[in-house]
Structure 1
Amino acid sequence: MSILRRLAVTLVLLPLLAVSSWAQDYRVRAGDVLQIEVLEDATLNRTAIVLPDGQISLPLAGSVRAAGRSLAEVQADLAGRLAPNFASAPTVYVTLSALAERVPSAPATPRLSDIYVLGAATTPGKVEVKPGATLLQALAQAGGVTPFAAKKRIQLRRVDKSGVEKVYKFDLDAIERGEAGGGATRLMSGDVIVIPQRKLFE
């Protein structure tokens, strides 16, 4: 064989060898699709998806654990289970037909809700809170109220889907003393908390 022909054959075989090496090292995962071939009995040939519990199923072999094993290990296990049904050890091939869809492992960052605090707050303005945050938590993020706040007349203003504004009133003094509820009211994005100024003799 000429040098050029040997070089051409080598270039063709290198990708195949790389794929073969990768296949040997690959560990099967739930959701992968395996192609199973039994040379001695074509009726056993099939495509099998690895179930969430890591198992695949094949007639005469039953359920076989595939997840976490190499293709060669799954192949050997199937051949061993099928052997009693044949006069001689069957020839079994297991190849990877499709990879399971990989889900990103990083958790999604929860979307924050925009709440607006007006009036006698230490830091009025837009406050970004986590979904499910309460009235008291939003006030805390705004730095609380100033000494001039009319704590008995706190308002929560909310516009519903039809565009109608509803006003809810809270007595922050009573909430802080534990004599009234309302502090655990869950906020929605777009809510406006109004903290009026105290009147002269309030």
Structure 2
Amino acid sequence: MKPILNFPSRPSYILSVAAFLIGLFAMISLTPIAVAQTDETQEAAAIIEGDVLSISFPAAGELNTSQKVRRDGRITLPLVGEVVVAGLTPKELETALLALYDKQLVTKEVSVSITSSSYAFYVNGAVLRAGKQMSDRSLTALEAIMEAGGPSPSANLKKVTVLRREGEDFTLYKINLKDILSGKKKGVFQIQPADIITVPEKFVIF
């Protein structure tokens, strides 16, 4: 027999959505996420694609610039050209820039800050608003699905996958969100820029 979609009845769907939301709120309460970055969190946060960087040289104002990190993780700077910045913290980038501009700077001082941060990820399958999503904060896989409108009635949260590019290769991660929501498993899976999240449909064979 061909598999067909298993659409739950309305009462069971309401109960499942209620359980899903309760689990979501519980996870959010246990895993706080800061919306605004303080100076301390900026120093610890790695620069990612889509970040807008403010780079200033107090003794060489002509080198000051504001740059958005491209998809390849690079920015283009005066005199030195392209620089890979993704994966570095602002402090690490400051150290790298002092080395790059060593001959041009009389006063060895530079300041790097992240003025805004946003990135794209993709959610497809059994969600209410599939497609490209944008976020300006760190998200777990569960929160990313909620950004896409939440799971549809036919969503199979046991077999969520995340496809991620890591260097020249792609890695497929499998996540059982149902077990996480029910408390059987602990931990969170953080989304990274350009991740592709797939929520499969439930199927039943008669």
TM-score relative to the length of structure 2: 0.43
TM-score relative to the length of structure 1: 0.43
Structure having the higher Rg: 1
Higher RCO (CA 8 Å, separation ≥ 6 residues): 2
